[in-house]
Amino acid sequence: MTSRRQIIALAGAAFLAACSPAPPGPGTETLAHLPEAVSNNAVAAAIVDGRMMAYSFAGLRAGKTWQDLTADAYACDLEAGDCREIGGLPDGTGRLAAVAATAGNQIYVFGGYTVAEDGSERSTPEVWQFDPQREAYARRADIPVPVDDSVALVYADRYIYLVSGWHDNGNTDAVQVYDTAEDRWFAATSWPGAPVFGHAGALIDNRLLICGGVEVVPAATEGARRTFELYEACWSGEIDLVDPARISWSHADLPGAARYRAAMTGSAETGRYVILGGAINPYNYNGIGYDGAASEPIGMVMQIGESAIGRQASPGGLATMDHRGLIGWNGGFVTLGGMTGGQAVTGEVRITYPD
């Protein structure tokens, strides 16, 4: 009998393999440089004329102030090692913590948040569909509950799940599903854990895995402030094969997988989830922790299979954080931008080949 993985992912995986060169051994390398250093940017990939293209949308420039939010976008030919600027988000509004996902070889960019001079933040409802062939945008139905620092997971090359995330002044447990075929939203089974932002997630077949992020802890005494703490848990979910609004959730015991703003993806070819980098001290957008201490990235790659968990130091020794996605390509895993040690915003496009 054909497995769910074969039904949903095998054709796409075979196509990507056909247009990718053979992977080298374990290690890391810089494939290209973005035209400008950017962090907390939405990333996704698509095939254009038989070539794997990676895209970056919006994010934070190197200055790391409210004035450094950007709506700019970039396209990178991974095989050629070349990046160039393309038209940015059409409204021109700089934003952080948007997320992007690819369905039907179209890229969808969701949400994010703006920062005003007085420090006030607002979650944005916009959804932009980006056609990589024409490099053109179209506005789609707004997110019912605008979120930022969420995760976007694609099921059956049609449905995009936004799981939890921050909404204006607090986290939400909503799982909002966008139907790309009908340009409409519907609600799925709610997130069962503490509502979080800055978490990482991936989907293989109909199986979700969500790890880490930040939960809001109410003030312990009257007059005290609430705190933001790392959510040290993972949850797995199984989407019902008949009704995509139904998810069966269960707690996943994965020590070390919980991080903040890590890069994560799932590999249909290997059946493994991959988590790269991130931080264990939650921080504001400038890289300084909510506790006042500077946050530093984790130099570790974690691979999670059905029966085994693998951990290794990041090949090449580079540690990164502040990611909104991870792209699988050529047997490795690609990040675009992010922050390195000392909260430095980088423009590097790097590929990591784990053992």
Task: For residue 123, give the nearest of 167, 181, 189 by alpha carbon.
Answer: 167
Q: So what CATH class is 4-353?
A: mainly beta
On whether the CB atoms of residues 141 and 185 are closer than 8 A, the answer is yes
State if pTM tops 0.85.
yes
Task: Give me the DSSP letters along 136-197.
Answer: EEEEEPPPSS--BS-EEEEETTTEEEEES-EETTEE---EEEEETTTTEEEEESPP-S---B
pLDDT (0 to 100) of residue 296: 96
* Euclidean distance between CA atoms 287 and 82, whole angstroms: 28
Q: Which two tokens stand for residue 214?
A: 């930040």
Both tokens assigned to 155: 């099921």
Boundaries of every domain in the chain: 4-353
Give the pLDDT score at 24: 55
Asked if residues 111 and 91 have their Cβ atoms less than 8 Å apart, the reply is no
Place of tokens 């949903």: 8
What is the structure's pLDDT at 23? 53
Please enumerate, as own/partner, the contacts of 3-6 that have beta carbons within 8 Å and a separation of 24 or more: 3/205, 4/205, 4/206, 4/241, 5/204, 5/205, 5/268, 5/271
pLDDT in tens, 134-182: 999 999 999 999 999 999 999 999 999 999 999 999 999 999 999 999 9
The whole-angstrom separation of Cα 320 and Cα 326 is 12
Tell me the pLDDT band of 306, cut-offs 50, 70 and 90: confident
pLDDT tens for each residue of 223-276: 788 899 999 999 999 999 999 999 999 999 999 899 999 999 998 888 999 999
Measured CA angle at 144 (ends 141, 149), to 5 deg: 100
Read off the pLDDT band of 2 (50, 70, 90): very low
Q: How far is CA 285 from the centre of its chain?
A: 15
Tokens of 206: 């109909």
Neighbours of 242 (CB within 10 A): 6
CA distance 322 to 343: 9
Model confidence pLDDT, tens digit, residues 95-108: 999 999 999 999 99
Average pLDDT (2-10) is 37
CB 228 within 8 A of CB 214: yes
pLDDT at 310: 84
Residues near 261 by beta carbon (within 8 Å), at least 6 away in sequence = 40, 149, 198, 200, 278, 279, 321, 322, 323, 324
Q: Buried (b) or exposed (e) across 54-67, using 16+ Cβ within 10 A?
A: bbbbbbbbeebebe
User: What's the confidence (pLDDT) of residue 221?
Assistant: 81
